[in-house]
Structure formats: structure tokens, C-alpha cells
Structure 1
Amino acid sequence: MTGRPIDDKTRTLREHGCLNPRPERVRDPRFLDNAFFDPRDLVQVKYEMLRRVREDGESVSGSAARFGLSRPTFYLAQRAYEAGGLPALLPERPGPRRPHKLSAEVVAALRAARAQQPRPSSRELVELVRERFGLSVHRRSIERVLARQKKRL
């Protein structure tokens, strides 16, 4: 850390996954002597790194080093920014993006079971998935995927 006490901004950056884990590596003069530029703000650091290459003609290696990041990180940020602008520099939420155990085949079996028996309990559906597919799935995962299927229809 840069020796600053934990304040509201640090807390907020951490909550949103935007807290730079190594702000002490940022050596750019603007981030060292201008209060507007905050080395703790990873989105700001990445944006300024990209801007320096694009607008000021700095080298990728030099800019990445000055902002305490790697060249691969530069290229990932560049791709993200070109695809989605500033919001694309925000980190993605960690964790699975979809119910990975509930494949299309499993969901089809759940829907078929629901069609045969209008109100099977979540526990019965959990047991069906365990018996037929050998998977251990939480009842809420099944409830969510079936609710999502209803909304799409």
C-alpha cells in the first residue's frame, strides 16, 4: 500500500474489485504528485496507461512498466477497452458465469420430470439429478434454472 490509511475510497474500490493490489509500483509522475490521479484505482491506472500509448505515443513496454503492470495486462486492457469502452476495464465478477453442472441435457430431464408430474418437489428433482446423472446439485440451483426457463418461454 502507499502508506495511506484505509478510507472510504479504498473500501469502495475494494468492494468493486477495483483496488490496485500494488499501487506502490505505479511510478508515473502524475500519479505521484497530483491528487486527482490515484494509484489505488486500478481502472484509472489502466485507462491512463492505454491513453499514454494511444495519444502520447509511448511504447507499450515503457507505459506498462511506468504503471506497474505487465505487457500482457496492457494488451488485455486494450482489447477490453476497444470492445466496450471504460466500463470494460472494470473487473468481472469472480465465480461461475452459469450453472455449470446443469447442462442442457440435465435441464431437459428436469423439464420432462416437471411435465410428467406437475409439482415435483425440489428435493425430488435433486434426487432425480443424483440418480440419473450422478451429480450433486443444490435445490436452489434447480429452482433458479427452471424459473429462468419459464421466463424465456
Structure 2
Amino acid sequence: MADVETLKGLLERVRAAKGPDKATLNEFVRPLDADLFETFGGPRWDAAYRQAQGSMGAPHENAVREARYYASRFTGSIDATVEAIGRILPGSTWAVFSDGTAWVWPDASMDLLKGHQGKAATPELALCAALLQALIARTETDGGRDA
């Protein structure tokens, strides 16, 4: 898992985003989605990395650069973030509210004192922000170790 400063940087970028990430003219990758994809990891990242590395064993930097092309659409799909929440924070609960906020709780209690709120321009971005808040809190408390 990423360090606290990386997570905080991603959180600020998610909060500043106005909508789903788009590919730039210089890159054919969606930079924010790709950074979230790399940070959240998981089986899709592992498969993309292995495919990019190929049978010849491309250098790590090249494999990472190529794997980023397969990024999930975290900034434009609640499903992508929900999958990440379930995998990274098993047993947690999430919600998106009509006021534009999203919450992630470490358990099913939905206790506001235990939850992590995300606010952003869209529900998808708000849920990404809430997940990042939860990861920041976990990393600051226990160094990011899985329970």
C-alpha cells in the first residue's frame, strides 16, 4: 500500500477533479485513474503488470507504465471503487448520499465517529475520496498493515 503522503496527494487530486478522468493528448492513459489503479493494486493490477512484463521480463518501470493503460475507471464508476473497498477493507461498509458525500466505515455499524467522509464533484469521486480517507487513517494508525 502507498505511504501517507502519496495517499494525501491522491486525495487532493480526487477532490480537485471536476468529473471522470480523461486521457491527455500526451498520454493515452487516464492519469488519475491510473494512479488510483496502481495504488489500490489487486488482481486486475497484478494481471496487467504480468501481461505488460511479458515472457521476456520487461524492466519494472516499463511494466508499470504499460499496466497503467488497463486502469479501472475509479473516477467514473462506483463499481470499480466498491470492488476496491471490498478487497482492501474487507468487512467495511460504504454509502453515497444525495448531498454529494460518500462514507466508508470499517464495519457495518455506520457510526459517524468511525467513518471516513469523502466530498467531491461527483458521487464516484466522493466514494474514491472516502476510500482514500479510510486508507490514510489506517496507514497513520497501523502503518497500513492488514488486520
TM-score with structure 2 setting the length = 0.22
Structure 1 or 2, whichever has the larger Rg, is 1
From the two aligned structures, give the one with the greater helix fraction.
1
From the two aligned structures, give the one with the greater strand fraction.
2
Identify which of structures 1 and 2 has the higher relative contact order when contacts are C-alpha pairs closer than 8 Å and 6+ apart.
2
